[in-house]
Chains A and B, each alone.
Chain A
Amino acid sequence: MRTADLTTALVLMAGGLLVIWDSLRLGIGWGTDGPQSGFFPFWLAVLLLASCVAIAGQAWRRADGRPFVTREQLRPVLTTLLPSLGFVVLVQWTGLYVATAIFLGFYMRWIGGYRWVPVIVLAVLFPVFTFLVFEKWFLVPMPKGPLETWLGY
């Protein structure tokens, strides 16, 4: 927990420094029409740096022995996060609906251990349903891929 707390504080501090650097470029003083663009972000980042130093100090003093995640906890988190990442990558190639079908099918088959019949039925029906709701009823376009082009959408 302490390592995680310190790391987060350090990452935020680095972010704060980046903001300060960019704000200085934009100017933090008084322009012709009031405060310059960098004024507001600059002071926010200064406060952020100060707060992160305080948090890091707190974390340093108060040794919290609990681990941030245990090995048993990390497994289900990764089995959710990594396929989700794969899903987002896939959306760019195949469009959202096909990616959803593959994601849902993969998850049900390999994580849930379902038989092929329910896997295929659901993995087809759910994307078709969302397609109807979003593209047809509410006219909200989603990313589409080769399959949709082939079908004429």
Chain B
Amino acid sequence: MGWENLLLGFSVALQPANLGLAVLGITLGTVIGVLPGLGGANGVAILLPLTFSMNPTSAIILLTSLYWGALFGGAITSILFNIPGEPWSVATTFDGYPMARQGRGGEALTAAFTSSFFGALFSVVLITLFAPLLAEIALKFGPPEFFAIQLLTFSSFIGLGGGNPIKSLVSILIGFILASAGLDIVTGQLRLTFGITELMKGFDFIVAVIGLFGIGEILLSVEEGLSFRGVSAGINPKVVFQTWRQLPRYYRTFVRSAFIGFWMGFKPGGATPASFMSYAFARRFSRHPERFGKGEIEGVVAPETAAHAAGGASLLPMITLGIPGSPTAAVMLGGLIIWGLQPGPMLFKERPEFVWGLIASMYTGNVIGVAMVLAFVPLFAAILRIPFPILTPVIVSVCAIGSYAVHDSMIDIWYMLLFGVIGYVFKKLDYPLAPLVLALVLGDLAENALRQSLIMSQGSLLILFERPISGVISAIALLFFALPVINPYIRRARGSQKPPVEVAAPHDG
């Protein structure tokens, strides 16, 4: 890696137009993160059509800034309203909301934003250092290696996802099956269309994301009978500086959570388990574990650092391997394809200004983001006071706009509604949605990688294990697939030892 690359990136990211887009993206992202029913993934999906006419670098800067904004926005609602706007900010409510009720809302918010900032920064620095190396290695990958990585991606949902492993598998399979519908580009045959012309186009994952996460989430939140009873945030420069003075004390929590976040985040499954895990670790290593849950500032620092570190890390496999680490990254990957870029290691060679502009914008985006949210918290919090009868139709309408814009087709609005109902039912029955979306995005890539591998080996699946790199990756993938089966035995063998940290949470990074 060379510094000149990063400098090139900054020369792109610091252009006034791109800085403006970053501000716009963070503002919209924070609004989206605060609103119930809208989150990073569907926010990016809805805005994606607006970027079709932009140049790719500006477009990705807008979308990643939106992503950072959504991450910040999630913290605001968790702390002030006890409503986690995003699944990965659930752990932030444990101590954030009690702090707000004790009148320390400003302190909690400052701690949350500052730790998110450092968590993200940590990941971005690691991405800067390792992305070029990873891309270099990935350039040597053939179809078997890529298919093995896909296996690893999906096996980690099953082995490490935490939910019901069979239901995770079903979600993955549904995603792949939906992805295979429509025209088979290899043989030119129509699949799963049953003679219906409308089905020829297949299912677009952007529409699926908007429906599953947008409409489905609204149905879930009205069912719970949302009542926003917020605590007002007394945030002013004095509170901010006072909080900053006590934060260095928690450097160990910072470092530990950032590592957990990065490690969990660059594999799919990402931000949510990372935030729970680092909260659990912070409590275990704390000198005052009894204070957790009652308004301990460390209980805000830990999950927020991890969630943002994971959020940043999920972009690493996207730009280096062309395989997204989270649904939001998946939508961005879809964007890359639409903008005419080929995601994957070649990007570093062919479009350095794009890759390094993106990496540099992660630095600038986070600096702008933390400054903006600290300055405008009361404004963003006011959004949640918009009454539900106004919010619901507005969100549904915006979702419809986003779905229609993908292909200018009415059927996509119907799909959106259908996916909304599916999302609602699946969420209630504990079918995870993130693997479905990822499978829908990666379906064609995975199928082609498998086909080419099989052609190389004349039909033998063993090729996945015969080549050294794909062999190791496939073996790990098989281990993950088997984890739910062997886990009970491992626990029994350990006997009465401490049970492992429970990370049972929905994983909708």
22 contacts between A and B (CB under 8 A): A1-B429, A5-B429, A12-B174, A22-B194, A31-B187, A35-B459, A37-B187, A37-B189, A39-B451, A48-B173, A51-B170, A52-B170, A55-B170, A81-B219, A88-B400, A100-B397, A106-B393, A107-B392, A108-B393, A114-B389, A134-B50, A142-B404
Whether A55 lies near B166 (C-beta < 8 A) is yes
Chain B interface size, under 10 / 10 to 19 / 20 to 34 / 35 or more:
35 or more
Per a CB cutoff under 8 Å, which of A31, A48, A83 touches B170?
A48
With A45-B177, A126-B394 as contacts: A134 and B429 at CB distance below 8 Å: no
- Is B176 on the interface with A (CB-CB < 8 A)? yes
- Is B53 on the interface with A (CB-CB < 8 A)? yes
- Is A30 on the interface with B (CB-CB < 8 A)? yes
On chain B, the residues within 8 Å of A12 by CB distance are 170, 174
- Find residues 198-212 in chain B having any chain A CB closer than 8 Å to their own CB: none
| Complex CA–CA separation, A99 to B396 (angstroms) | 11
Per a CB cutoff under 8 Å, which of B176, B186, B401 touches A134?
B401
Q: Taking the nearest CB of chain A, how far is it from the CB of B281, in angstroms?
A: 32
Whether B49 lies near A140 (C-beta < 8 A) is yes
**6 A-B pairs with least C-beta separation:** A112-B389, A34-B455, A76-B222, A100-B397, A104-B393, A48-B173
On chain B, the residues within 8 Å of A143 by CB distance are 404, 410
Whether B53 lies near A139 (C-beta < 8 A) is yes
On chain A, the residues within 8 Å of B389 by CB distance are 107-108, 111-114
- Is B417 on the interface with A (CB-CB < 8 A)? yes
- Is B454 on the interface with A (CB-CB < 8 A)? yes
Most chain B beta-carbon neighbours within 10 Å: one of A8, A41, A122? A41
With A48-B170, A48-B173, A54-B166 as contacts: A103 and B397 at CB distance below 8 Å: yes
Known: A33-B186, A58-B164. 15 other contacts (CB 8 A): A5-B429, A35-B450, A37-B186, A44-B173, A44-B176, A48-B173, A51-B166, A52-B170, A58-B166, A84-B396, A87-B396, A96-B404, A99-B397, A100-B393, A143-B410
| Complex CA–CA separation, A22 to B190 (angstroms) | 10
On chain A, the residues within 8 Å of B450 by CB distance are 35, 40
Whether A87 lies near B170 (C-beta < 8 A) is no
With A34-B454, A44-B176, A96-B401 as contacts: A87 and B393 at CB distance below 8 Å: yes
- Is A68 on the interface with B (CB-CB < 8 A)? yes
- Is A151 on the interface with B (CB-CB < 8 A)? no
- Is B148 on the interface with A (CB-CB < 8 A)? no
Q: Which residues of B contact A (CB under 8 A)?
A: 49-50, 52-53, 164, 166-167, 169-170, 173-174, 176-177, 180, 184, 186-187, 189, 191-192, 194, 215, 218-219, 222-225, 387-390, 392-394, 396-398, 400-401, 404-405, 408, 410, 413-414, 417, 420-421, 424-426, 428-429, 431, 447, 450-452, 454-455, 459
| Complex CA–CA separation, A130 to B404 (angstroms) | 14
Whether B428 lies near A68 (C-beta < 8 A) is yes
Whether B396 lies near A41 (C-beta < 8 A) is no
Q: Taking the nearest CB of chain A, how far is it from the CB of B104, in angstroms?
A: 34
- Find residues 104-148 in chain A having any chain B CB closer than 8 Å to their own CB: 104, 106-108, 111-114, 122, 126, 130, 134, 138-143
Q: Which residues of A contact B (CB under 8 A)?
A: 1, 4-5, 8, 12, 15, 18-19, 22-23, 26, 30-31, 33-41, 44-45, 47-48, 51-52, 54-55, 58, 68-69, 73-74, 76-77, 79-81, 83-85, 87-88, 91-92, 96, 99-100, 103-104, 106-108, 111-114, 122, 126, 130, 134, 138-143
Most chain A beta-carbon neighbours within 10 Å: one of B49, B50, B164, B390? B390
Whether A91 lies near B429 (C-beta < 8 A) is no
On chain B, the residues within 8 Å of A26 by CB distance are 189, 191
Per a CB cutoff under 8 Å, which of A5, A51, A92 touches B169?
A51
Whether A41 lies near B417 (C-beta < 8 A) is no
On chain B, the residues within 8 Å of A88 by CB distance are 400, 413-414, 417
On chain B, the residues within 8 Å of A83 by CB distance are 393
Nearest A residue to B452, CB-CB? A34
| Complex CA–CA separation, A84 to B416 (angstroms) | 11
Q: Taking the nearest CB of chain A, how far is it from the CB of B397, in angstroms?
A: 4
With A44-B177, A44-B180, A141-B408 as contacts: A122 and B187 at CB distance below 8 Å: no
Nearest A residue to B439, CB-CB? A44
Q: Taking the nearest CB of chain B, how far is it from the CB of A106, in angstroms?
A: 8
On chain B, the residues within 8 Å of A134 by CB distance are 50, 401, 405
Whether B222 lies near A77 (C-beta < 8 A) is yes
With A73-B223, A126-B394 as contacts: A8 and B173 at CB distance below 8 Å: no
Whether B417 lies near A51 (C-beta < 8 A) is no
Per a CB cutoff under 8 Å, which of B49, B194, B219 touches A77?
B219
| Complex CA–CA separation, A86 to B166 (angstroms) | 36
| Complex CA–CA separation, A140 to B53 (angstroms) | 9
On chain A, the residues within 8 Å of B397 by CB distance are 87, 96, 99-100, 103-104, 126, 130
| Complex CA–CA separation, A14 to B410 (angstroms) | 27
On chain A, the residues within 8 Å of B49 by CB distance are 138, 140
Whether B191 lies near A47 (C-beta < 8 A) is no
Whether A41 lies near B225 (C-beta < 8 A) is no
| Complex CA–CA separation, A113 to B225 (angstroms) | 17
